Chains A and B, each alone.
Chain A
Amino acid sequence: MYKIESKNVNLHYGSFHALKGINMAIEKNTVTALIGPSGCGKSTFLRLFNRMNDLIDGVKIEGSCIIDGKEIYSKSIKIDELRKRVGMVFQKPNPFPKTIFENVAYGLRVNGITHKNYIEERVEICLKQAALWDEVKDKLKKSAMALSGGQQQRLCIARALAIEPSVLLMDEPASALDPISTAKIEELIYQLKELYTIIIVTHNMQQAGRVSDSTAFFYLGELVEFDTTKKIFTNPTDVRTQNYITGRFG
């Protein structure tokens, strides 16, 4: 069984047809990169899986999105429950203006967990998973705003991991970071796929090549090509993919 599937998904923003009949199936514990020029629909597609598009006025979604065999747009799905299973990391590091500890604990607290020892334990585990523990273990009570951009982004990853999701959505997680921080995030993604199924939107072709197992190329709301990253980058089937990869447009 596939971990994540989309079947003939169409999405409209008002009269704009943003996703056109997308079919994709993603295996468990893999990293899938979504690439394509700005406005091609890759972020919109990513945000289908934690129903973030629901927040936007005038969005209409058709078709089927399935995680662990369950339709996530069915009426019986509680959005809060879904979002606990599907974590998200955003383009700009956006830690809350709270302490480092409270940032990671946030997801637990809003989901009604009050057990102090458990929260402390989860915070430590997640900060370790996000490769941030050694840098912040002595200043957990300090503000997250005082961290560097790269540290903030790893904190946001730790925050997303705290509620034990099985899927991690990353929307250009390194685009606002310097090369060293980017390398750390990429290293982290590589390690995290042992435990999570990851979908990452990226503008950086080399990044897609380095971190992902499969790559999907979007263009004008269509999924042009979806294959192993190796195949996409060495021998793409579609000429548009080839043109994009080789930098002829984008």
Chain B
Amino acid sequence: MQSDFKKILSQSIAFWTFRILSLVVMGILFSILGFIFVKGIGVVNWDFITQMPEDGMTKGGIYPAIIGTLCLIAGSMLFAFPIGVMSGIYIFEYTKDSWYRKFVQLMTANLAGVPSIVFGLFGMALFVNKLGFGDSILSGSLTLGLLALPVVIRTTEEALKAIDNSYREASYALGASKLQTIKRVTLPMALPNIITGLILSIGRVSGETAPILFTVAAYFLPKLPTSVFDQVMALPYHLYVISTSGTNIAESRGMAYGTAVILILIVLILNIIANIIRRFLTKKYKTN
């Protein structure tokens, strides 16, 4: 009787601890979102997202920064996605389970742990100066792409690992080569999960400031880029600028929150789109 009571008590204490802690985590997320939205939603309107900044960035919109961030997301994905997926395929499908694979995996993990400012410095040294791309969308996208690579590689590996080996064997047993098997069976099956990795890396890339600081971001540039060698404004950097080193920080406070709202919305919308694509791919073969 006594021990039964103790058992039930300790169980409910543990259960409630876990439940409260998870509620705290959700609470933190919602407070951040709520705080930003309450403070920022007031300035968000059609002009805000379609007009150039004016009056020392205290008025007008953030149109060029939105376009800049979208360019950088697209550019970095264009770079990180194929390279990351191919590396992931190589690591999982081509290297044997040996010290070499472990070494490559360790290095990928280390790459993920490199501080983003270091990526920024590296990008400036290599892309901006050495390769002569200058401060440009190209340099910024490549730098952000490097940052996104580990996530894409890792999720590709995991997605391939999740596929039952008997599908590969069935393909080989029909005389298919390894490449044919990857192209026709394993990669299409892994794609929905790989897209999850893409979602995660878009979230990371779109919010980074340090890697674009020395490679692409412009302080104030009220026009749209015309080529990949142009500089652009970008939302996270714009947010930083008008919060810390603008012409009138107090005046542009509302703009800063508005910028944060737009940044969050962009990430949210891209996540939703990627999720729809993922569901479509998963469902495509399961039904009809």
Q: A residues engaging B (CB < 8 A)?
A: 50, 52, 55, 57, 80-81, 83-84, 87-88, 90-92, 94, 96-98, 106-107, 109-111, 142-146, 156, 159-160, 162-163
3 closest A-B pairs by beta carbon, nearest first, are: A97-B285, A107-B174, A110-B176
Partner of A81, one of B175, B286, B288: B175
Determine the residue in chain A with the shortest Cβ distance to B164: A94
Given contacts A94-B166, A94-B167, A146-B286, A111 and B175 within 8 Å (CB-CB): yes
Q: Which residues of B contact A84 (CB under 8 A)?
A: 174-175
Q: Which residues of B contact A83 (CB under 8 A)?
A: 172-175
> Is the CB–CB distance between B96 and A57 below 8 Å?
yes
Cα(A107)–Cα(B185), bound, Å: 12
The minimal Cβ–Cβ distance linking A153 to chain B, given in whole angstroms, is 12
In the complex, whether B10 has a CB less than 8 A from a CB of chain A is: no
> Is the CB–CB distance between B174 and A143 below 8 Å?
no
Given contacts A80-B177, A111-B175, A145-B286, A96 and B166 within 8 Å (CB-CB): no
In the complex, whether B189 has a CB less than 8 A from a CB of chain A is: yes
> Is the CB–CB distance between B288 and A107 below 8 Å?
no
Given contacts A57-B97, A106-B184, A110-B184, A52 and B177 within 8 Å (CB-CB): no
Q: B residues engaging A (CB < 8 A)?
A: 96-97, 164, 166-167, 169-177, 180, 184-185, 188-189, 284-288
> Is the CB–CB distance between B184 and A143 below 8 Å?
no
Partner of B174, one of A142, A144, A160: A160
Cα(A160)–Cα(B175), bound, Å: 10
Partner of A90, one of B169, B284, B287: B169
Q: Which residues of A contact B285 (CB under 8 A)?
A: 97-98, 143-145
Given contacts A90-B170, A96-B185, A97-B189, A142 and B288 within 8 Å (CB-CB): yes
Q: Which residues of A contact B174 (CB under 8 A)?
A: 83-84, 87, 106-107, 110-111, 159-160, 162-163
Partner of B166, one of A90, A97, A98, A111: A90
> Is the CB–CB distance between A55 and B173 below 8 Å?
no
Determine the residue in chain A with the shortest Cβ distance to B286: A145
Q: Which residues of B contact A144 (CB under 8 A)?
A: 285
The minimal Cβ–Cβ distance linking A67 to chain B, given in whole angstroms, is 15
